[in-house]
Structure formats: structure tokens, C-alpha cells
Amino acid sequence: MNILNEFSHLFFPNVCVVCGEELLHSEVTVCLRCLYKLPRTNNFREKDNDAEQLMAGRIPFERIASFCVYAKGGILPPLIHQLKYYQKKEIGTLLGRLFGEDLNGSDFLKPVDLIVPVPLHPKKERSRGYNQAEMIARGLSEATSLPLSVGNLIRVIYNPTQTKRTKTQRWENVRNIFEVKRPQEYKEKHLLLVDDVITTGSTLEACGLALQKCNGLKISIATLGEVF
């Protein structure tokens, strides 16, 4: 760190977005203490877990896993909030990498060919500056060495936020908003579809229905958080 950065650090210290404690030079956005406290589900080891029960019968899928429990007052919600609304895209990459390290070598990950983030509409992505699901997917890709596929699954309709909508309203809000530009690219592939949080599963269901146009495709799903 140069002299100017040291001087700036005295008056504007970098602090953890969760606990507010000053970060060490080796820490980025989140302190190691808070990362250690993340409420991991480890549900990639458990078939018919809560997330899989939520999506059962809605779209064909192989497996679903969530990195952590998303609970009010917990550690994950402020991290997701900072990721989505405060330009802290490095949080997505960091948590995706940690999730990928957990998944490495597991039966959950072995059949996967490609990692595909749930896309934002181009207008929304320009406004935010990035797609938070893509940041998570990039971290997963870095940790697992699985290739990342961006730009084939696309969002073609700009729709309002899902926040504070009921389950029915969420489904109506996302129906038919996704398309696959080049279905042949995903033929006979096993995709890992990635999003930030699974709540009702409506967005993931809409993505899955769009992806069914690809012959021989298999889908697994990974999210940072699960809300039940």
C-alpha cells in the first residue's frame, strides 16, 4: 500500500460490511471472522433437500444446492444487499469461490459441463453495472475450473423487481421473460444454473422452462442463499 493509500486509510478505514470491524490488509469487504460464521447448509450432500422439494415437479432438474441459509438478522442478507445495491461485486465473486471450494470433488459437481448465471435484462445490467449472478458464477468457475457461459441464456423482457411480491405475483412477473439464443450450444450438456437467492423459485423455474428447448439438456441449480 503506498503513502497516499495509508493516509486515506487513517481517515476512511475499510470496514467489514457485516460487523463494521476494520479490515486487515489481506481482507476484502468482509472480515474472515464473519466469513467463518456463514451459516453453510452443506445441502449439496443431501438429496431431496428443502430446495429440491421446493422445485419438485415444476421443472426437470438433477440437483439443487444453496451455499447458506438466508435468514433475517443473519450474516448473508447484508452481504447480498451490498452485492446487489452498493457496487460490491467482489462479494459475489468471493462467496462464489468459497461455494465452489465446498463443491469441489462432490458428486453434485461431477456431471456439470457449464456454469450459467441467471441473466439480467440489459437495461438493468447497465443500471447496476454488472449482473450479481454472473459475479457469483465467476467465483464458482474460478474455484471449480468449469467453463462459464454468458450471453446464450438471455432475459428479453424488462420486468419489475421481485421484492415484496407474493409467490403468484413472482411467477406472473417472470413468465416467458427468458430465451436461449443458440439452443444447439447447450445440446446434451449438463448446466449449473446460478442465482443469488432462492425464495419461491419462480425465476429459476422460468429459466428452466426456457432451457427445455435445448435437446438432451440437464440442469442443476446453485444459489448463495435459500429462504424458507
User: Which pLDDT score is estimated for 176?
Assistant: 84
Overall domain count for the chain: 2
Residue 186 is given by DSSP the state G
Burial of 119 (0-12, 13-18, 19+ CB in 10 A): buried
What span, in angstroms and rounded, lies between the C-alpha atoms of 46 and 64? 9
Are residues 167 and 185 both part of a single domain?
yes
Alpha helices of the chain — where are they, by DSSP H?
3-11, 32-36, 50-55, 76-85, 89-103, 122-128, 132-144, 167-174, 202-211
Provide the mean pLDDT of the chain.
90
Q: Could you tell me the pLDDT band of residue 175, with boundaries at 50, 70 and 90?
A: confident
Rg (CA), the chain: 18
Domain ranges, residue 18: 1-37
User: Which pLDDT score is estimated for 166?
Assistant: 64
Q: Is the pLDDT of residue 214 over 60?
A: yes
What span, in angstroms and rounded, lies between the C-alpha atoms of 165 and 72? 17
- Nearest alpha-carbon partner for 135 in 118, 156, 111: 118
Q: Could you tell me the pLDDT band of residue 79, with boundaries at 50, 70 and 90?
A: very high
Q: Is the pLDDT of residue 199 over 50?
A: yes
> What is the CATH classification number for the domain harbouring 176?
3.40.50.2020
Are residues 14 and 126 both part of a single domain?
no
Q: Is the pLDDT of residue 62 over 90?
A: yes
Are residues 121 and 53 both part of a single domain?
yes
Are residues 42 and 59 both part of a single domain?
yes
Are residues 6 and 118 both part of a single domain?
no
Q: Could you tell me the pLDDT band of residue 11, with boundaries at 50, 70 and 90?
A: very low
Are residues 31 and 49 both part of a single domain?
no
User: Which pLDDT score is estimated for 167?
Assistant: 61
Are residues 84 and 194 both part of a single domain?
yes
Are residues 129 and 149 both part of a single domain?
yes
Give the predicted TM-score (pTM) of the model.
0.89
Are residues 32 and 43 both part of a single domain?
no
Are residues 6 and 44 both part of a single domain?
no
Q: Is the pLDDT of residue 13 over 90?
A: no
Are residues 23 and 99 both part of a single domain?
no
Are residues 101 and 85 both part of a single domain?
yes
